[in-house]
Amino acid sequence: MMNFNEFKEHVREAILDYLPEEYADAEVCLTEVEKLDNSYTGMILKQEHKSSSPIINLDQSFKQYGKVPLEELMVKMAKVIKASQLIVDEDMLESYEKCKSQLFMRLASASGKESIMESSPYRLIGDILLTYYVLFPAEASSFYSARVNNRLMRDWGISEEELYEDAVKSTVKLFPPTITTLVEATTGIADDECEALVVSNKQMMFGAAALFIPSVTSEVVERMGGGFIAIPSSVHEWLVISTNSEFRMKDLRETLKQANQTVTRPEDILSWVPYYYSAEEGVFHALDNR
């Protein structure tokens, strides 16, 4: 039995043997594919005369390995490639003008993301990593994204500051931010008296990035009457409470810890500490020592 690294290398080297002659000139590459609801190692076949490339989900194929004969798996993957059900438009990524309106920001825990920080433009807020992605449609009702890396930014000839400013504008359009009371978010019933807010986006996917959009931050400050405490529920949303709330910081950290350990999926954990936003400074502070 091969491990995953051995499996993906075997597939990369052998897949052309299962494809028609028209694929003989294809370059077989492995890449990390970021989908809105998960990520996986993908295999892409690039051909000079084609601007789009089929992608094979090798994580999914590896799960079948051992249950299904390897030969059968290779045949299945070849069939998917020939059907080209899932494609990435490579030409789009070559043009910043094409990508500009499709940029969006995404937050993740910075823990274990050293390789991403080495290879991609980013911002670090406490222990939270902000990175940039290009969104493009795949099959109907589904979307896929590619993380902006240093090579892309260099090819586009832009700075990280310009990337950030454009990503803020397009994130608002692609993933409209939402600010609702906790009662409304959990019951669907409007309650103007509830002071706790939930900040996310309309799709409720990677909505935590919405809080770092300046216009959203300003609206939360206005509704809270100044600075506020932001609790990172997950990569999808924040729970925001007033600094006047009757919560002890120790209790907030313990509640967040329990939620991360028992409720939140490991890949959705954003942080283990609450944050304080200072309206005077315009800065988020991690409350890990208070």
Q: Could you read off the pLDDT of 3-16 as tens digits, one per residue?
A: 999 999 999 999 99
* Residue with the larger pLDDT of the pair 244 and 163: 163
The pLDDT score that the predictor gives to residue 86 is 46
> pLDDT of 84-106, one tens digit each?
544 556 667 888 998 999 999 99
Over residues 15-57, the pLDDT tens digits come to 999 998 888 888 898 887 765 456 788 888 877 655 556 678 8
* Overall number of domains in the chain: 3
**pLDDT value, residue 50:** 58
8 and 80 together in one domain? yes
The position carrying tokens 């206005």 is 222
69 torsion bin: left (phi>0), alpha (psi -120 to 50), beta (else): beta
- Domain final residue pick, 117, 139, 174: 174
Domain boundary among 65, 92, 119: 92
109 and 83 assigned to the same domain: no
What pLDDT is attached to residue 25?
Answer: 83
Letter string b/e over residues 263-276, b meaning 16 or more CB atoms within 10 A of that residue's CB:
ebeeebbbbbbbbb
Q: Read off the pTM.
A: 0.72
| Mean per-residue pLDDT over the chain, rounded | 87
- Indicate whether 183 and 272 sit together in one domain: yes
Give me the domain span that covers residue 250: 177-286
Give pLDDT, residue 165: 97
Question: Residue 118 pLDDT more than 50?
Answer: yes
Do 263 and 189 lie in one domain? The reply is yes
Asked whether residue 104 falls in the same domain as residue 193, the answer is no
pLDDT value at residue 97: 92
**Distance from the Cα of residue 116 to its chain's centroid:** 12
Whether 282 has a pLDDT exceeding 70, the answer reads yes
What is the pLDDT, as a whole number, of residue 140?
Answer: 40
pLDDT at 289: 62
